[in-house]
Chain A
Amino acid sequence: MKQLFTILAMTAAIFTVVFSVLPFSNLAIFPAIASIFFTSMAYYLSKKTGEVKKIIPFIFFLTIMSLALTAYKALFTTGEVANEQVLKEKEAVSKEKAIEELEELDLDDINLD
């Protein structure tokens, strides 16, 4: 049982690390909760038998570090749009073409007053 919880905690911790470095880092919270739960169970069972393996605090440390990274990304990173220039050029070309097309339309009777 102790081993099972350790394996589950390690798996969840790996997911936490992977998610925390990806753009959808907010999702790391779910495996992190699972990892903390499994680590606690593994620690409790190990404590009962009197031997706590070093891997358990390591998994806990890994999870906390990933959570810290997730929190940092959520609080301090703002969304930025790359290649704005490309879009601006696309917009300018589109407007130019649109005006050419509008010139061909019968706009004389539009009441703009």
Chain B
Amino acid sequence: MKHLFLSILFLISYAIKSQNYAFEAGEKLTYTASYNMSGILTDIAEVIMETSEAKTSKATLLRLKCTATTYSKWDNFFKIVDLYESYVNPKNLTPYLYKRDIKEGNYTKFMKYTFDQKSNTIKSVQRKRNNLEENKTFSINPGTKDIVSTLYNIRLIDFKSMNIGSKKSFIIVFDREEVKAQITYLGKESISTNIGKRACYKLAISSSENVLQGKNNNLLWLTADENKIIVYGKFNIPVGTGELKIKSAQGLKKN
């Protein structure tokens, strides 16, 4: 009985913790993505993270949208137009539909996941350059999320109650495979950004796959306020290293 009570308490406290108090529809965060070319950081693309409402006849969901577009000067060399979307429960960010429509140079790919949260399965549709459609249904672990909703989920974490070095784990479904990711809280740090000097939570991200390389080489800085927006990121991926810097932030829930 005691264990049952504790379990229920844990579940309730977890549910309270993962409620979305950080953002709402109408938020728009614009970033500049830079790539390290022979030791010199070069701005290559604009990344926009935007939230909006998606109304159906039964419910109003939250649409989390991420776009990455190369700056026009790169378009003749390597044009990128990526669109990532996740339609989630606005309260706890449980995903229901995820779409990834990317065009990177000559490479195109479309991926759609329809989450069935009751049976923990995903119905996926994949389309590549030849337009051949490939359908696949696969099982996932409870709590598995897509990459976009995971990014927003990080903002729901209560860092105030975390000790330096403590970790949180996520399971992300990417390319129809589950990837384990982990964030480590590294403490608070003040950094200068385009939206002013901000006190930030510093996080290290790692993954079970080789997508993110090195220990503490992939870092994120989230503002240490109620909004917890990502203002700066450093990444180390197989094709090189780079940075993500905030350019502007609009529609924040708490100003």
Q: Which residues of A contact B96 (CB under 8 A)?
A: 102, 105, 107, 110
Q: Is A94 in contact with B114, judged by CB distance below 8 angstroms?
A: no
A79 near B71 with CB under 8 A, answer yes
B72: A residues at CB distance < 8 A: 80-82
Contact B99 A98 (CB under 8 A): yes
- Interface residues of A, dominant DSSP: helix
B71's contact among A81, A91, A99, by CB below 8 Å, is which?
A: A81
Contact with A along B117-132 (1 / 0, CB 8 A): 0000000000000000
**B67 located at the interface, meaning its Cβ lies under 8 Å from any Cβ of chain A in the complex:** yes
B37 at the interface (CB under 8 A from A): yes
Q: Is the interface of B mostly helix, strand, loop or mixed?
A: strand
Interface assignment of A30: CB less than 8 Å from any CB of chain B: yes
A102 and B97 within 8 A (CB): yes
CB neighbours of A108 from chain B (8 A) = 58
Count A interface residues, CB 8 Å.
Answer: 29
Q: For residue A105, which residues in chain B have a CB less than 8 angstroms away from its CB?
A: 96-97, 114
Q: Which residues of B contact A27 (CB under 8 A)?
A: 37-38, 40, 42
Residue in chain A with minimal CB distance to B65: A91
Is A90's CB within 8 Å of the partner chain B? Answer: yes
Query: What are the interface flags for B39-67 relative to A under an 8 Å C-beta threshold, 1 for contact and 0 otherwise?
Result: 01111001000000011111111010101
B56:A99 contact, CB within 8 angstroms: yes
CB <8 Å contact, B63 and A110: no
User: Are B46 and A112 in contact, with the CB atoms below 8 A?
Assistant: no
Q: B10 at the A/B interface (Cβ < 8 Å)?
A: no
Residues of chain B within 8 A of A87, CB atoms compared: 67, 69, 81, 83
Which residues of B have CB within 8 Å of A101?
97, 114
Count how many chain B residues have C-beta atoms less than 8 Å from C-beta atoms of the other chain. 40
| Residues of chain B whose beta carbon lies under 8 Å from any beta carbon of chain A | 32, 37-38, 40-43, 46, 54-61, 63, 65, 67, 69-75, 77, 81, 83, 85, 87, 89-91, 94, 96-97, 99, 101, 114
24 contacting pairs across A/B (C-beta < 8 A): A23-B77, A26-B37, A26-B40, A27-B40, A79-B43, A79-B71, A81-B71, A87-B69, A87-B83, A90-B101, A91-B65, A94-B99, A95-B54, A95-B63, A98-B63, A98-B85, A98-B99, A99-B54, A101-B97, A102-B56, A102-B97, A105-B114, A111-B91, A112-B90
Residue positions of A touching B, CB distance < 8 A: 23-24, 26-27, 29-30, 79-82, 84, 86-87, 90-91, 94-95, 98-99, 101-103, 105, 107-108, 110-113
